[in-house]
Amino acid sequence: MQRNAGFTLIELLVTLAVAIIIMTIAVPGFQGLMSSSRLASDYNEILSGLNLARSEAIKRRENVSFEITSASPWALSVYRTEDGNSDGSALRVRKKTDARITVSGDSIVVFGPLGKTVDIDGNNCDGSCSIDITHSAGECKVIQISSFGRVSRGGECSNDA
């Protein structure tokens, strides 16, 4: 006697049904994971740009500016304040093509020769200022900048996006 190897039609249909149920549960969670991962990546990029601007200001003993534009695609640049914002003389330029963020708060920060914040969007920033970064998926994170120039991770966003 010879046995036929393989699956029956009912076994195949049950397997497909279980796979479809698992996929409908897993896909939304995976999309949320990808969205929060993109926000974390963009947030860390902005945080490192601010830290670079501060360290370059201390190293060069001159004013260094950090600027972020939230146009699509968003971009950041770190440049010597005297040179203006041109890509040719910028110390760092990063342009992201795959994400949309909205920046509320301060988009231009100038660090002085001692690493302190000299000017933030025309304000002297007594105490601390913040940059709220809202990703296109609606998640939000905050970066705090003290008057001494210390850049740190902030708390809750001021706008509930």
Domains of the chain: 9-153 (3.55.40.10)
CB contact at 8 A, 145 and 128: yes
Tokens of 145: 């900048």
SS3 content of the chain, % helix, strand, coil (to 5): 35, 30, 35
pLDDT in tens, 46-101: 899 999 999 999 999 998 888 887 666 788 888 888 766 655 578 888 877 666 67
pLDDT in tens, 91-121: 888 877 666 677 665 578 888 888 888 766 5
pTM of the model: 0.73
